[in-house]
């Protein structure tokens, strides 16, 4: 009886441990298992090589979901059309956590009307390489909506739809193709012929120019300039200018002394006395010398 009771207790303990473990797993994993996920889909008009089911979906580098299906749009849409009339886009479906993305205006990207507003602001999905392993993932981000227009579709997407934008590799290949196409339209032979004609015309124009005569003319002009400079007696001009300034100073001093004479400043009231003083002033030899110096100075200035 004791052995049977022991077995019952052991069984209850094992069952309790299993139940506790299951509850623990539910509690720990409930954050991920019971999170609200949103199914989205997008279409690519390019190869999705390197993208597989289970590949990450990231929003600016942060993982927000994973790819769940890769196929073609003509297997899901436009079934009423012939195969030649259907769009041949690559269909990619994924599950994301809308609350991790959010919108610029606030709120989760889980409603079609909210997504449409964000699409008009430039919300797009594109292929992005993951290192050098050759694998790709889906990158959700905002781009210029004018340079990244939506692919034309004629159906209503079954799930939340986010348009795609060309990958960096596709853009590079397209740009290189445009350059090659433009080069193909350039007439290389005609361009080279025009360049050769231009060089020939330039050579002919240069040959017409008499460089020797031009050099001789330049030398003659320089020689004449040197001669004219040599003819300018700079030292003599400096000496004469200095002497002229000295004489001007002397003349100014003599005139000043004459005008400072008290007899000149105080004119007497008597006309006879004034006339006598004026005669004396005129007969003053210093006045004659001052006038003579002034005349010589003016002559030098002329």
5-22 pLDDT per residue, tens: 666 677 777 787 787 777
- State the Cα–Cα distance between residues 287 and 251, nearest whole angstrom: 10
What is the predicted pLDDT for the residue at 273? Answer: 63
Read off the pLDDT of each residue in 258-272 and give the average, rounded to a whole number: 57
Considering only residues 293 and 43, tell me which one the structure prediction assigns the higher pLDDT.
Answer: 43
pLDDT tens digits, 123-137: 999 999 887 777 899
Average pLDDT of the residues in 82-88:
91
pLDDT of residue 91: 95
- Neighbouring C-beta atoms of residue 254, cutoff 10 Å: 17
- For residues 112 and 198, the model is more confident at 198
For the stretch 135-169, pLDDT in tens is 899 999 899 999 899 999 999 999 999 999 988 76
List, in sequence order, the alpha helices (H) in the chain.
Answer: 2-33, 98-101, 112-121, 168-185, 188-208, 211-231, 234-259, 262-265, 271-282, 285-301
- Asked whether the predicted pLDDT for residue 222 surpasses 70, the reply is yes
More confident call, 117 vs 238: 117
What is the pLDDT, as a whole number, of residue 28? 58
Mean local confidence (pLDDT), 188-213: 79
pLDDT band at 201 (very low <50, low <70, confident <90, very high): confident
**Which residues share a beta bridge with 40?**
94, 160
Between residues 99 and 112, which one has the greater pLDDT? 112
Question: Are residues 68 and 78 in contact, defined by beta-carbon separation less than 8 angstroms?
Answer: no
Token pair for residue 257? Answer: 């002394």
Q: 76-90, 93-107, 156-170, 207-221: which range is least confident on average?
A: 93-107
Give the CA angle between residues 297, 252, 262 to the nearest 5°.
Answer: 140
pLDDT of 62 strictly over 60: yes
pLDDT at residue 263 in the model? 59
pLDDT at residue 105, as a whole number: 43
> What is residue 41's predicted lDDT score, i.e. its pLDDT?
94
Report d(CA 292, CA 286) in Å as an integer: 10
Smallest Cα–Cα separation from 31: which of 86, 113, 100? 100
């Amino acid at each position: 009886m004791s052995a049977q009771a022991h077995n019952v207790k052991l069984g209850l303990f094992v069952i309790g441990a299993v139940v506790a473990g299951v509850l623990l797993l539910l509690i720990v994993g409930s954050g991920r298992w019971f999170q609200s996920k949103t199914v989205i889909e997008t279409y690519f008009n390019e190869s999705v090589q390197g993208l597989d089911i289970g590949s990450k979906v990231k929003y600016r580098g942060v993982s927000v979901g994973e790819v769940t299906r890769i196929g073609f749009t003509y297997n899901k849409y436009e079934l009423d059309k012939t195969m030649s009339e259907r769009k041949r886009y690559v269909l990619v479906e994924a599950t994301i956590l809308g609350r991790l993305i959010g919108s610029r205006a606030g709120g989760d990207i889980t409603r079609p009307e909210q997504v449409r507003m964000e699409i008009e602001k430039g919300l797009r999905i594109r292929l992005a390489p993951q290192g050098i392993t050759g694998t790709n993932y889906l990158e959700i981000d905002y781009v210029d909506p004018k340079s990244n227009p939506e692919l034309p579709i004629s159906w209503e997407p079954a799930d939340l739809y986010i348009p795609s934008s060309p990958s960096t590799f596709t853009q590079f290949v397209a740009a290189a193709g445009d350059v090659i196409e433009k080069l193909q339209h350039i007439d290389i032979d005609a361009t080279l012929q025009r360049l050769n004609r231009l060089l020939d015309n330039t050579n002919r124009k240069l040959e017409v120019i008499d460089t020797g005569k031009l050099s001789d003319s330049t030398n003659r002009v320089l020689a004449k300039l040197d001669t004219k400079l040599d003819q300018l007696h700079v030292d003599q001009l400096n000496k004469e200018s200095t002497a002229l300034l000295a004489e001007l100073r002397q003349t100014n001093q003599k005139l000043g002394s004459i005008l400072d004479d008290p007899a000149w400043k105080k004119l007497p009231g008597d006309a006879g006395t004034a006339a006598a003083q004026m005669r004396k002033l005129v007969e003053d030899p210093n006045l004659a010398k001052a006038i003579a110096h002034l005349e010589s100075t003016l002559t030098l200035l002329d």
